[in-house]
Copies of this chain bind each other. A is one copy, B any other.
Amino acid sequence: MTRIALVGIGKIALDQHVPAISASPDWELAATVSRQGRVDGVEGFTRIEDMLEARPDIGVVSLCLPPVPRFDVAQAALRAGRHVMLEKPPGATLAEVHALRDLARAQGVTLFATWHSREAHAVAAARRWLGDRRIESGRITWREDVRKWHPGQEWIFAAGGMGVFDPGINALSILTHILPEPVHLTGAELDFPANRDAPIAARLEMTQGITADFDFRQEGPQTWDMEFRTDRGHLALRMGGNLLEIDGQPAGGADTIMGEYPALYAQMARLLGENASDVDLSPMVLVADAFTLGRRVTVEPFAF
């Protein structure tokens, strides 16, 4: 078992990372670093420097902090020669992730920028099916209730918090993984609440006739769907990449019985074994491009 430290003990750490690590034969959760959060029975630190100093036996650090504070912690861990795994998005800016990638290379350690949605059950099957087809059009609908999934998380609407692109980048991480040819943006509209610095909704237009509709104000049923019309049939991925339909019929497609986060930790174990890194920034490039190219619309103020 490889000892790992988890940094940022908030909702996503407790909901996903801790159970995934606990259930894995590869990993032992050996320490946490968090201002307030703790995990029972695990040594807790409040500062990354203290953990790096006190626990030279912990070779791997997994970060589930919000994007803005993430860089300094990742840099400290890499400089201390530790392997690093990053929750999505891998940073608040592209340039800082480029810097982390270069640092990991210089240190000879593994950096894994994770995209958990790529591990959803039907994604690999969708990628295979699309692999030799030509996309004629596509439609992504990613609508969820920010109050349900990010209760009171003010950082998500602060500058750099990415707003609705926090879930939207999950869709884009699937999209960039399954398409046989890369896409780019041709237009975007971003809805900013009058009292917030990050968008609450966005509509994207991309090449290959693909559109995306991201909305953080969806009450009732949640929607995480994408559909593609190709030269040979129609594919739909529903439930965030977990259900596959071909030409309107269920087509299963589960390649794994693991959940998304267990699959990420298994992948991290493989990367360590191969002394390799995996830093694909294409979903984040599309988000940065949407902010750069997008027309801004001011909408009504938002309160949690």
Measured in the bound complex, the distance between the Cα atoms of B136 and A137 in whole Å is: 51
For the complex, is A291 an interface residue (Cβ under 8 Å from B)? yes
Complex contacts, A214 vs chain B, CB 8 Å: none
Measured CB to CB, the nearest residue on chain B to A182 is B99
CB-based contact A160/B197 at 8 Å: no
Which B residues are in CB contact (< 8 Å) with A296? Answer: 192, 197, 296
Contact A184 B96 (CB under 8 A): yes
**Interface stretch of the complex, out of A8-16, A215-223, A254-262, A280-288:** A280-288
Residue of B nearest to A206 (CB): B95
Q: Does A293 contact B (CB under 8 A)?
A: yes
**Is B162 in contact with A99, judged by CB distance below 8 angstroms?**
no
Q: In residues 75-130 of chain A, which contact B (Cβ within 8 Å)?
A: 92-96, 98-99, 102
Residues of chain B within 8 A of A286, CB atoms compared:
95
* Interface presence of A294 (CB below 8 A): yes
Number of copies: 2
Q: How many residues of A contact B (CB 8 A)?
A: 32
Residue A289 interfacial (CB < 8 Å):
yes
Cα distance A94–B282 in the bound complex, in angstroms: 10
Residues of B near A289 (CB, < 8 A) are: 92-95, 288
Contact A295 B95 (CB under 8 A): no
Contacts beyond the supplied A99-B184, A288-B292, A292-B292: 19 A-B pairs with Cβ under 8 Å: A71-B184, A92-B293, A93-B184, A93-B289, A93-B292, A94-B94, A94-B288, A94-B289, A94-B292, A95-B182, A95-B183, A95-B285, A96-B185, A159-B188, A160-B293, A197-B295, A285-B288, A288-B288, A291-B292
- On A, residues with C-beta under 8 Å from B are 71, 92-96, 98-99, 102, 159-160, 162, 182-185, 187-188, 192, 197, 282, 285-289, 291-296
